[in-house]
Structure formats: structure tokens, C-alpha cells
Amino acid sequence: MKISAETAVASAVAIVVSFVTVGALLVYVASTYHIFNPTNLYWLRAALTLAIGLTALAVLERLLRGVLAGRPGIRNRGMILSVFRYVAYAILSLAILAALGVSSLALLAGGTFAGLVLGLASQTALANVISGLVLLASRPFRPGDRVTIVTWQFGVTVPAYPPKFYSQDFVYPGYTGVLQTIGIVYSEVLTDDGPTLQIPNGILLQAMIMSHELPSRWVRTKYEVAAGTDLRRLLPLVRAAVQRNDWVVDPEKVRVLVNQATASTTVISVDALCRGNTEDPPRSAILMDIVETVRAAAAPGR
């Protein structure tokens, strides 16, 4: 049975009001009839404040989750929930201290001292928090974007294995995937290979970010043919086949070149501007066109 938002809000308010009423009644009875001494009365008030506060926070967080889930356009849902938790629990802590009878001056002095101690003891954690806020303010990317995260040296690796044909192409030592959330301390990236990465915001802030959020991108496809192939005849046929591919957005910009040549084989490369923000689907379709074209050109009588 689905509960409407109005019913959920009314239920939440009713629960909180019930807790507050019961708590106030207990405190009134205890203070009027001197059931507890003053010290124990403070602890009773603190316990009731904690119970009511936790209940209210749980209900409010659930309502906030429902509101955010109903609005797909809000991408920073994880950050909003994290900020709500931190702020809400900080307010609840102050309310509990006030219920224990701690003065405002003592709270200020204790908060200052605790801030200094925590700041010195948790520099890395605070750096991640500040980095998360900077990422939200500068917005180099947003949840839902497909990115490649290259950290530290920002270098490239020259591949030396057969699929790359010992070419001039480079491999970036990074992690490619879809950014899920930007949290207070960690950000979550769902990689193309499947695993989910929890990356500290401090690392993410100093990383080089390659954004793949483009309406189209250049895709390079390579294919190896025998050295005796008539390339002057084959290359125009391959170009014409690729130009008809559904992934190609600008057929006139398709380039078919000789990339590598040895005594036994020749590697041709096809560069095409393809739609989408991923490389594998258009590369697969282009490879199928190349294979069919090369096979047809090598058939007897052609």
C-alpha cells in the first residue's frame, strides 16, 4: 500500500508530538513531585531529548529521502543527505548539552577546544570535507557524468601489446566510470568494469578529470591486413562502408590511413566522429564494417 506524502508528513508530526508530549509530562511529574534529585532530573531531560531527537531525525531523513527520490533532476542527493545528517546531529548534540544544564559560555569554550583538538587530529578527514565543498562549488563534474580520473603524476603509458599494434596511442593510468555521488568525505564512481570506487575527496580534488560528457567523440579503430593487399583500392572501400555506419555523425570527416607497416602485415586506422560518450559500441560496429569490406575485397573475382 503506497502512502502519500501528506500522510507521511502527518504521521511524522504526530510521532514527534507524541514523544514531546510524553517527555514533557515525565519531566513535569518528576520535577513537581520531586521523584528525582536535580542531578538525575538533568539526566532524564537529556535522555528524553536524545530519544525525541533521534526519532525526529530518523523520520525527517526518511521524508527527505522520499522527496529527493521523487526528483530525478537533483543530482547531489548523496551530498544533501550527508549535510543534513551532520547538521542535524550537531544540533541534537547541542540540545543534549543544554538539557544537561551546560551554560552557553561553557559550550563556546568547549567547542573551541574540541575544534582545535579535532582539527589537529583529523587533518586528512577535514581536508576531504573541505575538498568536497570545493568540488560542489566549482562543479568540474556532476553526478551522472562519465569521467576518467587520473591521479598524481597525470602521466601516460605507452602500450606494447598486440591489440594496440605497438602504436603511438597512449593509455591514461586512470579509472573510467560514471560518477554516482559526491559525499562529504568520499565520492562514489561506478567503473565501466563494474566495481564501485569510494574515492576520498582530497584525492579527487587534485586529480586530473577527463570528462566524456560529449554529444560526439572521435573513435579510432585499427585493423591488420596482409602485406600484399591493394591498399589504394581497399582504403576508399573501407571509408565508404564506415561513412554509412549509424554511429558516425559526420561521414565527410571519416579518415582511413595506413598506421603501421611491416614486411608481413599492414595496420590501417579509421578515425570517425561518433555519437555518444563511449568508445566500445561504435568501435565494434566499425570493426564489423571493416571485416566485411576486407572479406568482400579479397573474394575471388573482385
Cα separation of 146 and 179, whole Å?
6
pLDDT reading at 110 higher than 80: no
* 175 and 103 part of one domain: no
Contact 227, 154 (CB under 8 A): no
φ, ψ at 88 (rounded to 5°): -65, -45
Mean pLDDT of the chain: 76
* Domain finish residue from 153, 178, 211: 211
- According to the model, what pLDDT value does residue 84 have? 76
* 9 and 90 part of one domain: yes
> Does any domain span residue 130?
no
Pure H helices in the chain:
5-32, 38-69, 77-99, 104-121, 123-138, 201-206, 231-243, 280-298
- According to the model, what pLDDT value does residue 2 have? 45
Q: Grid coordinates standing for 290?
A: 571493416
pLDDT reading at 3 higher than 50: no
- According to the model, what pLDDT value does residue 173 have? 75
* 142 and 87 part of one domain: no
Question: Residue 243 sits in a domain of what CATH number?
Answer: 3.30.70.100
pLDDT reading at 187 higher than 70: yes
pLDDT reading at 186 higher than 70: yes
Most confident range, picked from 43-57, 132-146, 275-289: 275-289
* 207 and 221 part of one domain: no
* 20 and 73 part of one domain: yes
Contacts of 56 (CB under 8 A, 6+ apart): 16, 19
- According to the model, what pLDDT value does residue 145 have? 87
Average pLDDT over residues 45-50: 75
| Angstrom distances, CA of residue 239 to CA of 55, 61, 268 | 67, 57, 11
* 61 and 12 part of one domain: yes
| Angstrom distances, CA of residue 272 to CA of 48, 107, 159, 244 | 67, 65, 22, 11
* 206 and 223 part of one domain: no
> Does any domain span residue 247?
yes
> Does any domain span residue 132?
no
**How many CA within 13 A on the CB side of residue 200?**
11
For residue 234, the enclosing domain spans 216-298
More confident site: 201 or 123: 201
Q: What percent of the chain has pLDDT over 70?
A: 67
* Domain finish residue from 211, 241, 263: 211
Cα separation of 38 and 35, whole Å?
10
Average pLDDT over residues 59-63: 77
pLDDT reading at 293 higher than 90: yes
Report the side by side order of strands in the sheet with 216-226: 216-226, 265-275, 255-261
* 163 and 234 part of one domain: no
* 227 and 286 part of one domain: yes
- How many CB atoms are located within 10 Å of the residue 201 CB? 23
Question: Residue 170 sits in a domain of what CATH number?
Answer: 2.30.30
* 192 and 230 part of one domain: no
Average pLDDT over residues 81-104: 74
> Does any domain span residue 47?
yes
* 105 and 159 part of one domain: no
pLDDT reading at 282 higher than 70: yes
* 37 and 102 part of one domain: yes
Q: Grid coordinates standing for 15?
A: 510521532
Cα separation of 77 and 201, whole Å?
16
Report the side by side order of strands in the sheet with 208-211: 196-200, 186-191, 174-182, 146-150, 208-211
- According to the model, what pLDDT value does residue 126 have? 74
> Does any domain span residue 116?
no
> Does any domain span residue 129?
no
Contact 234, 302 (CB under 8 A): no
- According to the model, what pLDDT value does residue 241 have? 94
| Angstrom distances, CA of residue 279 to CA of 165, 192, 284, 285 | 18, 11, 9, 10
pLDDT reading at 1 higher than 60: no
- According to the model, what pLDDT value does residue 302 have? 59
More confident site: 128 or 275: 275
Domain count along the chain: 3
> Does any domain span residue 117?
no
Average pLDDT over residues 208-226: 87
- According to the model, what pLDDT value does residue 138 have? 79
> Does any domain span residue 124?
no
Question: Please, what is the angle between helix 38-69 and helix 77-99, to 10°?
Answer: 170
